[in-house]
A and B are shown apart, each in its own frame.
Chain A
């Protein structure tokens, strides 16, 4: 017995000893499912995965970016921030002059810039042949340009940082880099991107390519060129008169036009092609689409833009946009003999029949196909106005204003969006799993950028117009723009500018309507004095006279006037740029607040 005890104790002591030889090996537990940053970036595929992360950021303003996105109606409602669209309730705070200096955030965000810089900084680590990773490296340059462009649009001068910083870096406390210089960096990045990336449509337009970089370069250069030109005499000016940027914009656009990769989509159906362009699921064969966000119901990657927009829900397009459309004869509606303003009513039907076909494909009217429902026993095509279908139905959603008996179909202006509203009823009846793509860059913009840059430079020729604007007009069978024969429009927004600039801007507003360009255009043209300040955005001509519907002196619905008795309060010496957040000013005394804030 005793012997057993001793043996047992001996063993036990041994056991304890062996445990107490404890060393750090036991506590060294390294990750089993993560890769150390030290060994990353050795292969081209590492760069591919790294570049992939930036794609969802392409639609900056669509904050959700998730598979369930778009319950707010998606990108085609973004122009609520401009004079193209309004919503019942509080007016857009920037246009109304309601913005204030935020304590933090406010868009002053360098996260993406750091992420891109980190990838670029590691380019030397790759052991593969450059031809295997140049595309992805080029994408990193593209996305850096992209992120800086967003900052410049919001804030003007921003510190340019070209490498990942540490908490100890001096650059953290650097001053704001002048905007001209930042844009030069952006253009240089886009040049690098164009040089490194492959030419042609990458992955059917879901990946950026050389031409996408050039197209984006034309957008940035045009932005900065016009900004520096039109803000030349105010507090927001850049360091140049903008001409150099405008030239770069025209050149970049021309390079895309000459690449031969892209064409304007047209099947010869002027009342349908423009509409169809925005409601496709797969743009593989659509040569106008340069970069788009693809959705696919078969893998559950969907959005809900339509269900969220199925009813107007207090959103409406403005009369300002409506009057931009030319009459079918190519003349302004105010002067065209073919157009009788007095026949307009609250339904937009007359306008859709007598204006540029893009009107009827952008604005809903009674003639338009509202839904295509193969499963509907009463017929598979439903028009926006169907007197025979029951109220409160999927099948009826007449855009109406306040006096209508229908509760859910009212808009604050009487005009309702049709563009990019997919008629595929089977989609939105199925849990609203919609999967039509959202276009980020299409070739039409490049043509418009080209025409505008040339017009601003004063070097535009009829040949330039023919290979840009007139191609767009051909799609919708509108008469060509003839530089020599421009008819004066009493509704021109910019009567002090040349007729061709007015017409180029009109074409841009019409063609790119509701694609989230309008606010940028107003800002870079320094056009808030003409378009925003002191104004309100009107709606349809309203004849019925219900006292609950505010109208202006001419009988146009003026929904926001009671809230904005003095019109929008956009401050011309302040609101062209957003304020820097207070915390950043405190943290870095070298940062100076934007003018007026």
Chain B
């Protein structure tokens, strides 16, 4: 891509006729060389031999011929070559230096070869002007910061075309027009320096290596921009940073990669194929998704369809200025992902990489021994006034089993006949956690890609495969992903380029269905109920664990998603600087989801057969497809007039998505081996759905900067969406931003060695949020199938409620963001720091209409009447340095946000809903005042909580309002009784730490990620779902005991498990009474802050001398570990990431630690 620009530069038309923009072009050349050089092959000039046979031609024709025949390209000013002289040349298989020596023999022309680029210069200065008395001839030497001369440095008298290039020794000589002249010294990879001549005649210059990141070109909306010129809040994550974490999906790779880019687990936890939740800079709306817009090569796409190997870079656009050009599509930021492309003239390159990982579930609760479980159960039953769960004989069997006196896992003399009762009947002592979870579950990843390009066409083709096995020991679950991608770019003429990109992905998941027909996410929860007494084996040796049997045999849930995306586009540049891009994208998605359940016949210990599965086999299938089309066209023109740089971009975009689906299920399979609709004979249900939505928008951007010092940008989009009624469909979203590069000021030059970059940024703008359901403005009948009532013999169709009251005036939520930022570079960019403060207000937010009396019988339609605000900041600090062969880096990122509700229709400030002034995430509850320790102890009147008895071991709540009784008052902000705010559940201070060293091919990287502050409350809920946290609650059939739960209150005279009056958990009950002690309260508020070693990687790149003998360019081997260490104060019953992510009940697929190794090969 960069090379492409170089080819442009060399076109005669421009080079000679458009002198005024030449300076700018030089900088572009330099910029592009930065990258080009990085890819140069060291020994190309030595390896390449060229044959030429040309007579009576001009030198430049020879050079041109060489470029055609080889990958060499020349950089020169035409003045340096005598364009009158004709030459003859005839060489066979000669090296380049020989040819050039021959060609320039007897001329003033010299050359320097850098890899494939050859800079042509003059041996001595030839002044293009007649001698002028004011003119001064200066000379000097240019060296790098280690004292080595730099050949090929461009030295140009500012504002003119007068210039030269340093020779092989870094020396130059230049005649300039006077003392006031400013000279630019520029060279790829180094910071450009401007020096005023003054009285000097000898000017020696030390060039300072620039950090790549500063001159880096980053993706912004509908284009690219130099990072140094950014005025919005944009963060860039390079492929290199992502490579340091060999994870399977982009979400994991980006977690913690940018401050305030928050990626957290969804309710599916660490399940194979689970997706994650995203937000940028915290909450933006209370009613819908807070997710950013994720664009892959400019097109919205499912992030999980992407193979991380194919990503070139990721830009995170955080503020309104950066994302306003996307208007209502991107209310909460944009993540721009650019995939890898081939490089023109790069030759063929083939890479292969793989990764083999071994995963083990982490942070699982641990069971105590079977005896402890039984005794705890009996105590909870006794507290309830119920008889023992495990009678004396049973306890004795448990003891005998533990002592090795008996080996039977249940009473063989009285075998039980209901497998689900096994845990009550058994006397075994299994640590089910060990049995439930796989050891070293294998996952593997392979990627092969080839890339390259001729002069006009480049290509990048990649194929990837990823296979992840799950963590449960039974009923193997898995996720597989196949990726195929090709990016082709072809330059048809010098002003027209076509590109074509196709991306295909196939994601397959295969899971056992949940036990007893429940959602599969209940697996963990159900497993946790099978405590150590549960027998594994019947007397005859067959397995009798009901969950294991269910997971192995109850049926499967499978998903097969295919996503094919094709983009075709053209880029036209008829006049230098005026670029028009047109592209059309079609994304075809098709998914097939199947689910079947069947009988699970297992012989019980008593000998009868029990069906643990459903009584009826059933097969369900749904298929859905969508066709998503995007068309966009942009045109931009840029021009630099005496340091005044303008870039204007205008564009149009439309999206349309059509989707449809078909669902069917049928009962009674003929054979559960072949589950299909056509092999079932029972009742049939079918359903379908279809829909579409579209958006349309025009947008524009104006960039202006003066000498890259004063920066200004204006963005706007006028956007329409089909989700709103005709009159409320269009919105205008402008933004403006300014920047000031202080370090570019002349007066700063003295400080440049210390602070080489100092930029202030400010932006303000607004965006729209159209992420609401379709058709809120239309009144429709909601017709459904499968009434919850049989009429005659079937469940008929029905209308679900009267139509909702409609919201004809519903329109955008408007998100207004103010951002202040500063970017700093110290010590020649060894240390870079950036800080942003933002303030994001969401107005016209969807909120409830005025509360109306219930006599209305429905809720009034939503209105745009609420408001919230999120304030936050983020900072990152990066240190990078190299000392000889040793390079190292260290990075720290930290982001924080908090949200407040500014307006919400809740006049009574009822705490059950949002209210004005509320800090989002606040947890209301009672303050715990310890346990009641003695009978008759004076406690407040707690009958509001529990009308029955209160006694020793029960919780005493604190009477906050001293009215002698504990209650919630009116549960409003004014009258909240004894409740108070205990904490806040939103994660604060998200941070990450990265560090790496490399030395002679060995590299070591590590990455930590964490949350600095988070309160977490495990709500007891209406049921006993939070058993993982509370343990002995609800009913004996729903309770479970982990080691932590044994820390429950027992009186001073307890002789079973011993006294425990200073316990964590209250006195347990096996009845509703249990809830009296588990009201939301301070005692059980958890601290979910953590820091986690997300990744450590040790790699070794074999010496090139060694590998090139095998014609391999690069071989790198590495070992990597994920999630190796977690530091947290949270109870061991939860993982700090999965705990708060689960569905309000403490059951979720666990995360894993992964040890992996892999190899990267480049041919």
By a beta-carbon cutoff of 8 Å, the part of chain A in contact with chain B is 1, 4-5, 8-9, 12, 15-16, 19-20, 22, 24, 26-38, 40, 48-50, 52-53, 55-56, 58, 65-67, 88-91, 93, 96, 98, 100, 103-104, 108-115, 117-119, 159, 161, 164-167, 169, 171-174, 203-204, 206-207, 293-302, 313-314, 375-377, 390-395, 402-408, 410, 427, 429-431, 433, 548, 559, 562-563, 582-584, 586-588, 591
A584 with B853: CB separation less than 8 A: yes
Give the complex CA separation of A56 and B424 in angstroms: 37
Other than A29-B693, A37-B779, give 18 A-B pairs with Cβ distance below 8 A: A9-B572, A22-B696, A24-B726, A29-B692, A31-B774, A36-B778, A37-B780, A52-B797, A91-B948, A117-B857, A167-B852, A172-B856, A293-B790, A296-B790, A392-B424, A405-B391, A559-B385, A584-B854
Give the complex CA separation of A188 and B459 in angstroms: 80
B851 contacts partner chain A, Cβ-Cβ < 8 Å:
yes
Q: How far is the CB of A500 from the nearest CB of chain B, in Å?
A: 38
B802 contacts partner chain A, Cβ-Cβ < 8 Å:
yes
B696 with A26: CB separation less than 8 A: yes
B755 contacts partner chain A, Cβ-Cβ < 8 Å:
no
Stretch of B162-170, B409-417, B699-707 lying at the A interface: B409-417
B-chain residues with CB within 8 Å of residue A12 when the two chains form the complex: 572, 580, 582
B791 with A203: CB separation less than 8 A: yes
Number of A-B contacts (CB under 8 A): 310
B-chain residues with CB within 8 Å of residue A100 when the two chains form the complex: 944
Q: Which of B850, B853, B947 contacts A90 (CB 8 A)?
A: B947
B652 with A392: CB separation less than 8 A: no
**Closest B residue, CB atoms, query A36:** B780
Given A31-B774, A32-B691, verify A16-B652 contact (CB < 8 Å).
Answer: yes
A109 with B854: CB separation less than 8 A: yes
Q: Is the interface of A mostly helix, strand, loop or mixed?
A: loop
B654 with A26: CB separation less than 8 A: yes
Stretch of B95-103, B190-198, B611-619, B1107-1115 lying at the A interface: B611-619
A-chain residues with CB within 8 Å of residue B803 when the two chains form the complex: 37, 118
B691 with A33: CB separation less than 8 A: yes
Q: Which of B417, B580, B582, B609 contacts A393 (CB 8 A)?
A: B417
B240 contacts partner chain A, Cβ-Cβ < 8 Å:
no
Q: List 19 A-B contacts (CB under 8 A).
A: A9-B574, A15-B633, A19-B631, A27-B721, A28-B722, A40-B781, A52-B789, A52-B798, A55-B788, A90-B947, A91-B947, A96-B947, A98-B947, A103-B972, A298-B682, A392-B424, A406-B391, A563-B947, A588-B855
Q: Which of B610, B788, B801 contacts A429 (CB 8 A)?
A: B610
A206 with B654: CB separation less than 8 A: no
Query: Which residues from 843 to 873 on chain B have a C-beta closer than 8 Å to any C-beta of chain A?
Result: 849-858, 860
A407 with B391: CB separation less than 8 A: yes
Given A49-B796, A429-B418, A429-B611, verify A299-B948 contact (CB < 8 Å).
Answer: no
Query: Which residues from 742 to 780 on chain B have a C-beta closer than 8 Å to any C-beta of chain A?
Result: 774-775, 778-780
B799 contacts partner chain A, Cβ-Cβ < 8 Å:
yes
B387 contacts partner chain A, Cβ-Cβ < 8 Å:
yes
Given A52-B797, A88-B1071, verify A402-B690 contact (CB < 8 Å).
Answer: no
Query: Which residues from 1093 to 1130 on chain B have a C-beta closer than 8 Å to any C-beta of chain A?
Result: none
Query: Which residues from 965 to 1012 on chain B have a C-beta closer than 8 Å to any C-beta of chain A?
Result: 970-972
Those 6 A-B pairs whose CB atoms lie nearest each other, nearest first: A114-B857, A118-B802, A390-B414, A52-B798, A110-B857, A55-B789
Given A49-B797, A90-B1072, A114-B858, verify A30-B778 contact (CB < 8 Å).
Answer: yes
A-chain residues with CB within 8 Å of residue B695 when the two chains form the complex: 27
A-chain residues with CB within 8 Å of residue B856 when the two chains form the complex: 110, 114, 165, 167, 169, 172
B-chain residues with CB within 8 Å of residue A563 when the two chains form the complex: 947-949
A-chain residues with CB within 8 Å of residue B729 when the two chains form the complex: 24, 27
Give the complex CA separation of A98 and B654 in angstroms: 61
B-chain residues with CB within 8 Å of residue A548 when the two chains form the complex: 385
A164 with B802: CB separation less than 8 A: yes
Give the complex CA separation of A12 and B1072 in angstroms: 73
A-chain residues with CB within 8 Å of residue B615 when the two chains form the complex: 297, 302, 427, 430-431, 433
B799 with A49: CB separation less than 8 A: yes
Q: How far is the CB of A511 from the nearest CB of chain B, in Å?
A: 26
B-chain residues with CB within 8 Å of residue A34 when the two chains form the complex: 775, 780-783
**Closest A residue, CB atoms, query B377:** A407
A-chain residues with CB within 8 Å of residue B656 when the two chains form the complex: 26
A103 with B970: CB separation less than 8 A: yes
B385 with A16: CB separation less than 8 A: no
A-chain residues with CB within 8 Å of residue B912 when the two chains form the complex: 103-104
Give the complex CA separation of A508 and B143 in angstroms: 108
B688 contacts partner chain A, Cβ-Cβ < 8 Å:
yes
B-chain residues with CB within 8 Å of residue A297 when the two chains form the complex: 615-616
B19 contacts partner chain A, Cβ-Cβ < 8 Å:
no
**Closest A residue, CB atoms, query B411:** A390
Given A391-B414, A394-B417, verify A167-B805 contact (CB < 8 Å).
Answer: yes
Give the complex CA separation of A20 and B856 in angstroms: 45
Q: How far is the CB of B596 from the nearest CB of chain A, in Å?
A: 13
Give the complex CA separation of A586 and B778 in angstroms: 31
Given A110-B855, A207-B791, A431-B611, verify A19-B652 contact (CB < 8 Å).
Answer: yes
Give the complex CA separation of A297 and B695 in angstroms: 47
A-chain residues with CB within 8 Å of residue B613 when the two chains form the complex: 431
**Closest B residue, CB atoms, query A437:** B790
A1 with B788: CB separation less than 8 A: no
A407 with B390: CB separation less than 8 A: yes
Give the complex CA separation of A164 and B856 in angstroms: 7
Give the complex CA separation of A8 and B788 in angstroms: 62
**Closest A residue, CB atoms, query B861:** A167
Q: B941-972 vs A: 1/0 string, CB under 8 Å?
A: 00110111100000000000000000000111
A-chain residues with CB within 8 Å of residue B385 when the two chains form the complex: 88, 402, 548, 559
Given A34-B782, A52-B798, A563-B948, verify A296-B1071 contact (CB < 8 Å).
Answer: no
Give the complex CA separation of A427 and B631 in angstroms: 59
B673 contacts partner chain A, Cβ-Cβ < 8 Å:
no
**Closest A residue, CB atoms, query B389:** A407
Q: Which of B386, B797, B854 has the most CB of A within 10 A?
A: B854
Give the complex CA separation of A40 and B943 in angstroms: 52
B-chain residues with CB within 8 Å of residue A392 when the two chains form the complex: 414, 416, 421, 424-425
B910 contacts partner chain A, Cβ-Cβ < 8 Å:
yes
B793 contacts partner chain A, Cβ-Cβ < 8 Å:
yes
Q: B415-430 vs A: 1/0 string, CB under 8 Å?
A: 1111001001100000
B801 with A431: CB separation less than 8 A: no
Give the complex CA separation of A241 and B496 in angstroms: 95
B386 with A402: CB separation less than 8 A: yes
B387 with A406: CB separation less than 8 A: yes
B1073 contacts partner chain A, Cβ-Cβ < 8 Å:
yes
A431 with B517: CB separation less than 8 A: yes
B726 with A19: CB separation less than 8 A: no
Give the complex CA separation of A406 and B381 in angstroms: 12
Q: Which of A109, A112, A167 has the most CB of B within 10 A?
A: A167
B787 contacts partner chain A, Cβ-Cβ < 8 Å:
yes
A-chain residues with CB within 8 Å of residue B722 when the two chains form the complex: 27-29
